[in-house]
């Protein structure tokens, strides 16, 4: 499982001219599910995202989590995180999970974050989405449950 996590001042997802989800201060999380992901991969990403200390404390150090600052999370499913461009210039998505599995893992990711008391908004799975954000910093973190980066 992969996640691109961005610290944002605000973010929203629009589908067919309607706002599907929006947050103010918090994290925009683009989430990709691999075909061979397991519960262990899901747990790893939930733990990392919920505890990631990328917000500044009173001393200006990145030492606070999204919960510590009362922020929200905007979770957006993005299978293209498993696009493989090593051969040629057209990405292959063979490593990405099929839609049914990906939706199950995405929905569980959102549910687990909510169980931790976090405010979570979402995009719409498999929809064409327009994502609008103000990245603060900019701070962008790449997470991979297999620790490939």
Residues catalogued as catalytic? 78-80
CA dist., res. 63 & res. 80, Å (int)? 30
143 DSSP β-pair partners: 3
Q: What are phi and psi of 137, to 5 degrees?
A: 135, -70
The dihedral sign for the CA sequence 87, 91, 92, 97: positive
């Amino acid at each position: 499982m992969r996640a691109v996590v961005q610290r944002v001042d605000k973010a929203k997802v629009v589908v067919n001219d309607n706002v599907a989800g929006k947050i103010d201060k918090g994290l925009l999380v683009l989430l990709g599910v691999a075909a061979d992901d397991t519960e262990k991969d899901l747990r790893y990403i939930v733990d990392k995202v919920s505890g990631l200390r990328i917000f500044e404390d009173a001393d200006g150090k990145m030492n606070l989590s999204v919960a510590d600052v009362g922020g929200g999370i905007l979770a957006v499913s993005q299978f293209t995180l498993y696009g493989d461009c090593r051969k040629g210039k057209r990405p292959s998505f063979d490593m990405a999970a099929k839609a049914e599995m990906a939706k199950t893992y995405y929905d569980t990711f959102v549910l687990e974050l909510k169980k931790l008391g976090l405010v979570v908004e979402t995009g719409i799975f498999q929809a064409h989405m327009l994502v609008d954000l103000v990245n603060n910093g900019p701070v962008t973190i790449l997470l991979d449950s297999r620790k490939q980066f």
